[in-house]
């Protein structure tokens, strides 16, 4: 039997109004449940208090005489097979007992209900405190989330700045590497030119513009022993982004694209020539203005040229 069932039967148990089976079940539960045992003691105390709730009254001598006469007549009357009807005092006593039982039951129910109401009230207050605590925790958690978002935004901004600085640094390093590469190439070219100028096998050929369309001039240093040459140009103007200075070598009817002449902002250009054959084997050299995607033969304006035959 559960505590709830036992609590429902305890008022009737206190009034001795249960069946023998119910009494056995209640007593078996009471043997293991201290709470229900304590609740039973409260019900028993209520029943005991009800018995003393009515103030005792001394009956009058006249009523006592009448009752004694009634008792004497009843004792002298022969027994009758008919069913005896309970006397008025008996009915009154039974009614009073029933009233006492009803009042005790009502009081017990009221006490139990009052205890449950108090318990519910306590539970409600405890639940209200828990809800307030959860609200406070939720508010604190919300503030922490806001702080984390602010920190995350700040960190993201810092990372973006670091990324920008890294990108700038990477571009700067790339520019340095490019400048370093250009410097090394210029140094190698300078060394080659120095060697070529000092070599007795080096011949110098001057390039000019024969129709006056360009103010530039050039010089070709070629070494028959090395089979290579260096073309140096000056006074060339800057071209549009989609144009370039292209160098050509011609031998008979064969025309060879020998590379692109890069010109700086001062109009100077330098190109190392290494064709399949020796530079001295060719009969003509020229520089033309071509589209950046030039074809296999020159099609643009010749700005520098020279015959290589002797």
- Written as tens digits, the pLDDT of the chain (310 aa) is 889 888 889 888 888 888 999 899 999 998 989 899 999 999 898 888 776 665 666 666 776 677 777 777 766 655 544 443 344 443 344 445 455 555 555 555 555 666 666 778 788 888 888 888 888 888 888 888 888 888 888 888 888 888 888 888 888 888 888 778 877 877 777 777 777 777 788 889 999 886 666 678 999 998 888 888 999 999 999 999 999 999 999 999 999 999 999 999 999 999 999 998 999 999 999 999 999 887 889 999 999 999 988 6
Q: What is the CA radius of gyration of the chain?
A: 63
Could you tell me the pTM of the whole model? 0.42
CB atoms within 10 A of CB 259: 17
Domain boundaries, the chain: 200-307
pLDDT in tens, 20-34: 998 999 999 989 898
Q: Give the whole-angstrom CA distance, residue 244 versus residue 310.
A: 30
- Longest alpha-carbon distance in the chain: 183
Q: Give the whole-angstrom CA distance, residue 124 versus residue 121.
A: 5
pLDDT in tens, 112-122: 666 666 778 78
- List C-alpha distances in Å: 219 to 29, 94, 194, 248, 271: 122, 147, 14, 14, 11
Q: Residues with Cβ < 8 Å from 272, sequence gap 6 or more?
A: 189, 192, 228, 229, 230
CATH fit for domain 200-307, picks 2.40.160, 2.60.40, 1.20.5, 3.30.530 = 2.60.40
**For the chain, percent of residues with pLDDT exceeding 90:** 28
């Amino acid at each position: 039997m559960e505590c709830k069932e036992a609590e429902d039967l305890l008022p009737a148990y206190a009034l001795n109004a249960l069946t023998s089976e119910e009494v056995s079940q209640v007593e078996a539960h009471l043997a293991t449940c201290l709470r229900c045992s304590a609740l039973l003691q409260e019900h028993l105390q209520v029943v005991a208090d009800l018995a003393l709730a009515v103030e005792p009254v001394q009956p009058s001598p006249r009523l006592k005489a009448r009752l004694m006469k009634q008792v004497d007549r009843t004792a002298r009357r022969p027994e009758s097979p008919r069913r005896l009807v309970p006397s008025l005092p008996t009915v009154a006593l039974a009614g009073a007992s029933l009233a006492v039982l009803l009042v005790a039951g009502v009081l017990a129910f009221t006490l139990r209900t009052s205890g449950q109401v108090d318990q519910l009230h306590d539970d409600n207050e405890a639940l209200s405190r828990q809800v307030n605590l959860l609200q406070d925790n939720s508010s604190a958690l919300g503030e922490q989330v806001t702080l984390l978002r602010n920190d995350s935004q700040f960190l993201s901004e810092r990372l973006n700045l670091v990324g920008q600085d890294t990108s700038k640094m990477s571009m700067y390093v790339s520019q340095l590497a490019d400048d370093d590469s250009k410097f090394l190439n210029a140094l190698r070219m300078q060394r080659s030119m120095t060697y070529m100028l000092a070599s007795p096998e080096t011949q110098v050929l001057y390039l000019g513009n024969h129709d006056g369309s360009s103010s530039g001039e050039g010089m070709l240093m070629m070494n028959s022993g090395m089979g290579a040459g260096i073309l140096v140009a000056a006074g060339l103007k800057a071209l549009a982004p989609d144009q370039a200075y292209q160098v050509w070598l011609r031998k008979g009817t064969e025309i060879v694209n020998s590379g692109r002449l890069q010109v700086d902002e001062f109009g100077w250009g330098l190109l190392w020539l290494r064709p399949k054959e020796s530079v001295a084997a060719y009969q003509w050299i020229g520089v033309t203005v071509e589209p950046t995607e030039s074809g296999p033969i020159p099609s643009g304006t010749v700005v520098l040229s020279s015959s290589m035959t002797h």
